[in-house]
Amino acid sequence: MERAKNKQGKLHIRKGDKVKVISGNSKGKDGVVLEVITSKQRAIVEGLNMVTKHVKPSATNPEGGIEKKEAAIHISNLMLVDPATGDAVRTGRKQDDNGKLQRYSKKTGDFIK
């Protein structure tokens, strides 16, 4: 029996990256990626795409009520912000001096840490 292959490709953003929203309700805003959901190709960005959630009272939260939280945004609507220049850039992958694949900015050609 053949082994199942991993069908999830690598994404152009990671947890902790600063990104800019290029389309949708939060267009033009930027924030830091809190979580990347690879199976759905979505990311949760700090302070963006806020939704209201009605919470039932429970033992831990006896009041219940309405709370605001971040919802996931599709990866295609996000662009990485280059830490060196502060501009939103397209990214690619190429090998560094050690032979390891690294992300780089297609605008400046510099590697992104």
**Alpha-carbon torsion angle 23, 24, 25, 27, nearest 10:** -10
pLDDT value at residue 83: 86
User: Alpha-carbon distance 93 to 12, whole Å?
Assistant: 9
Structure tokens of 62? 């006896």
96 Cβ contact list (under 8 Å, min separation 6): 102, 111
**pLDDT the model gives residue 53:** 93
Instruction: Please give the span between the terminal C-alpha atoms of the chain, in angstroms, as a whole number.
Output: 40
pLDDT at 36: 94
Structure tokens at 104: 């780089």
Secondary structure tally for the chain: helices H, strands E: 0, 10
DSSP code at position 56: -
Question: pTM for the full model?
Answer: 0.78
Residue 80 identity: L
- Per-residue pLDDT tens digits of the chain, which is 113 residues long: 777 777 777 889 999 999 999 998 889 999 999 999 998 999 999 999 899 999 999 999 899 999 999 999 999 999 999 988 889 999 999 998 998 999 999 998 899 88
Q: State the pLDDT at residue 10.
A: 81
pLDDT at 26: 87
Rounded-to-integer distance, Cα 24 and Cα 76, Å? 11
pLDDT the model gives residue 24 = 87
Domains in the chain, start-ordered, CATH in brackets? 13-81 (2.30.30.30), 83-113 (no CATH)
